[in-house]
Amino acid sequence: MRADDKAEPSAAPPVPTDGPTPAGPPAITAVAAVTVSGATVAELFDDLLGGRRRFTTERIPLVANALPPRPSAGAYDDSREIHAAHVRGPLPLGDVVGPRVDRTLTRDARLLIHAAHTAWPDRSGHLPERTGVVLGTLRAGRNEYIAIHNAAGHSGLTVNPVWGPHSGYNAAAAQLSIVLPAEGPNLTLTSGATAGLEALAVGARCLDDGVCDTVLAAGLDTLSAAVGGAPEGADGVPEGEAAAVLLLERAGAGEGRALARVLGTGRDAAAPPPAGAGAGAAGDGDGATGSATGGTADGEPGGAALLAGAARNALREALREAGRRPAEVGLAVVHGTGDPASGTALRAALDAEFGDGPRVCDVTATTGRTGGADGALAAAVAVEAIRRGVLPPAGTGGGGSGWEPPGGRLALCLSVDAGGSCAAVLLGGPETVEDDVNGRGEHA
């Protein structure tokens, strides 16, 4: 089903009465990403540390498996040169899905399945009926939909029957569920730039609610020859393509394999500012604003101020759920959207809540702006930072530093969409917290 890009994220399915009781914070037991840097999160993290930006101009086709036109139609070329963060390499999947399916995979499905298989190559022993998939995306199926539209308007062009089943938002998640297999919840979130991070939050909720034992939470989007790449912003960051996958397991099931844990999640949405309202000022340090108050921190209406309040509400909710204080957070991983108001709001929310506190890393400086994948990539980078004990650089110049805080490694991921939605996820190290106060394993 094709939902509106600003739709609210799908709610977790009903809680079964016989589901297992959560034993603590959900564990992230594997991560993987296909990006401009390569086919692993380690390659992406190394590019962050090295300050490498692999943006190139390349010619790409509209769809991965087009049929040639009929002879009477003449030559038809739907390819286009785009300056962007391109994923390179063939990413073969014949050994995973079989040669026939491998030949017909869309680019969306190829990137997603490759990342999922990298994260979870040995799926023996998992229960398909207790395994779910949650995907965040803004544009999955777009290219196939456009190809059908184009072919219908050109006499003599052939429509590939493969395009039809893959021309919807939920096609990539459905294809992944078939490959795994996963017979539990299959959710596709299209809630703007927050979709990738919200996929992680909804996946954790499915585990907490006892719906699943295992969830693949992912973010995905690819480039399109039909629309070209989004123009570079003042920061020189173009559009990109990527898929990122995080394997979530219940705390007990993931014991001994955990790379990190989902300690808390938060979400809020800012109402659109009144027509004609200016950018406004961001919140101060005395309180958050947003949808709960309907105002702004300085009493003046403005899109950036409303977004800053909602972003701060979201990150506060994540901290509150985890039972943690702002001073304990050592890293904030964010992503730019190219929208000035959302960028201003994100920084204002972090400044108001943390002051000069955590290191702030923007993954899009390396990956390009990847739409639905951005939030999931931010979470994957945070997990890798926790695993390595290394803080990635705050800017584009590379570098890094050791990370050994006394209270353990805590990383906040924050997404802000220009349409008003804001999402936050707090990640911690793999160790089980002893002083459990609320059943999730958090500190008081």
Q: Is the pLDDT of residue 87 over 90?
A: yes
For residues 59 and 237, give the distance between their C-alpha atoms in angstroms, rounded to a whole number. Answer: 19
Tens digits of residue pLDDT in 214-245 = 999 999 999 999 987 766 666 678 999 999 99
Mean pLDDT of 157-169: 90
Encode pLDDT of 343-381 as tens digits.
999 999 999 999 988 999 999 999 999 999 999 999 999
User: Of 90 and 315, which is predicted with more confidence?
Assistant: 315
What gap in Å lies between CA 377 and CA 194, rounded to an integer? 11
pLDDT in tens, 33-46: 999 999 999 999 99
> For the sheet containing 359-362, what is the strand order?
186-189, 131-137, 214-221, 242-249, 27-34, 260-269, 421-428, 410-416, 331-334, 359-362
Closest C-alpha to 132, from 206, 205, 58: 206
Q: What's the DSSP call for residue 282?
A: -
By the 8 A CB rule, do 412 and 333 touch? yes
> At 16, is the pLDDT very low, low, confident or very high (cuts 50, 70, 90)?
very low
Interval 166-182: pLDDT, tens: 999 999 999 999 999 99
pLDDT of residue 236: 79
- Give the 3-state secondary structure of residue 17: coil
Residue 438 has pLDDT above 60, yes or no: no
Q: Higher-confidence residue: 158 or 35?
A: 35
Residues 375-404: tens digit of each pLDDT:
999 999 999 999 999 999 887 667 778 887
Q: What is the mean pLDDT of residues 249-271?
A: 90
Answer with the residue of higher pLDDT: 6 or 197.
197
Per-residue pLDDT band at 440 (split at 50, 70, 90): very low
Name beta bridge partners: 245.
32, 218
Query: Cα 327 to chain center, whole Å?
Result: 25
Count of CB atoms situated within 10 Å of the CB of 97 = 19
The contacts of residue 187 (CB under 8 Å, 6+ apart) are 10, 132, 133, 134, 135, 173, 199, 202
Is residue 299 very low, low, confident or very high in pLDDT (cuts 50, 70, 90)?
Answer: very low
Read off the tokens for 208: 């907490």
Among 6-15, 21-30, 305-314, name the one with the lowest average pLDDT.
6-15
Confidence of residue 17 (pLDDT cuts 50, 70, 90): very low
Using alpha carbons only, how large is the chain's radius of gyration in Å?
Answer: 21
Query: What angle separates helix 171-179 from helix 107-119, to the nearest 10 degrees?
Result: 40
DSSP code, position 329: -
Q: What is the mean pLDDT of residues 299-321?
A: 85
CA pair distance 124, 330, nearest whole angstrom: 37
> Which residues are 189's β-sheet partners?
136
The residue with greater pLDDT, 398 or 113, is 113
pLDDT in tens, 117-145: 999 999 988 999 999 999 999 999 999 99
Write out the two tokens for 231: 């123009």
Give which of 140, 130, 147, 221 is closest to 183, Cα–Cα: 130
Query: Structure pTM?
Result: 0.87
Span 312-336, average pLDDT:
96
Q: Which two tokens stand for residue 256?
A: 């001994």
> Which region among 25-34, 98-107, 172-181, 268-277 has the lowest average model confidence (pLDDT)?
268-277
- C-alpha to C-alpha distance for 392 and 384, rounded to whole angstroms: 10
Confidence of residue 190 (pLDDT cuts 50, 70, 90): very high
Element (H, E) at 84: strand 80-84
pLDDT band for position 294 (50/70/90)?
Answer: very low
**Is residue 63's pLDDT more than 80?**
yes
Q: Before 393, cis peptide (omega within 30)?
A: no
- Cα–Cα distance for residue pair 255/253, rounded to 1 Å: 6
Q: What is the mean pLDDT of the chain?
A: 85
